[in-house]
Amino acid sequence: MAWVILIIAGLFETGWAVGLKYSDGFTRLWPSIWTVVCLIASMALLGWSIRSLPLGTAYAVWTGIGAVGTVVVGILLFREPATVARLVCIGLIVAGIAGLKVFGGAAD
C-alpha cells in the first residue's frame, strides 16, 4: 500500500510543478490554490509512505515520478521539445524508479 501512496504523492508533485507554471508566479488565484493544495497533498502522502519505505528510495521515486510527469506534461501542454535524447533520459529515470522498486527490499 505504501507504494501506491508514494505513486499518488508523485502525481501530486507533478500537479504542483505544473501549477507553478499556470500560477504565473502566484499572481493568479485558482492556479495558485491548486499548486498549494497539490504541494500539501504531495508532502503529506510522501510522509505517510516513508513510514514503511526506506527514506532514500521513497524520496528518489517521488522526485522521479514528479520529474517524469512534469516533463511529459510539458511536452503535451506546453509544446516543449520531445527529442530522442529527452525521451531516452526520461526512460532512464523510469528504469531507475523501477529498479528502486524491484531492488528496494522494503514493504510492498
How many independent structural domains does the chain possess? Answer: 1
Q: What is the DSSP letter of 1?
A: -
Q: Could you tell me if residue 55 is inside a domain?
A: yes
Boundaries of domain holding 88: 2-103
The x, y and z cell numbers of residue 45, run together, are 502522502
Residue from 19, 11, 22, 24 nearest 36 by CA: 19
Residues 101 and 3: beta-carbon distance below 8 Å = yes
Q: Could you tell me if residue 32 is inside a domain?
A: yes
Which pTM does this prediction carry? 0.89
Distance of CA 29 to the CA centre of its chain: 23
pLDDT of residue 101: 82
pLDDT of residue 105: 58
pLDDT in tens, the chain (108 residues): 999 999 999 999 999 999 999 999 999 999 999 999 999 999 999 999 999 999 999 999 999 999 999 999 999 999 999 999 999 999 999 999 999 888 875 555
Distance in angstroms (rounded) separating the CA atoms of residues 58 and 79: 30
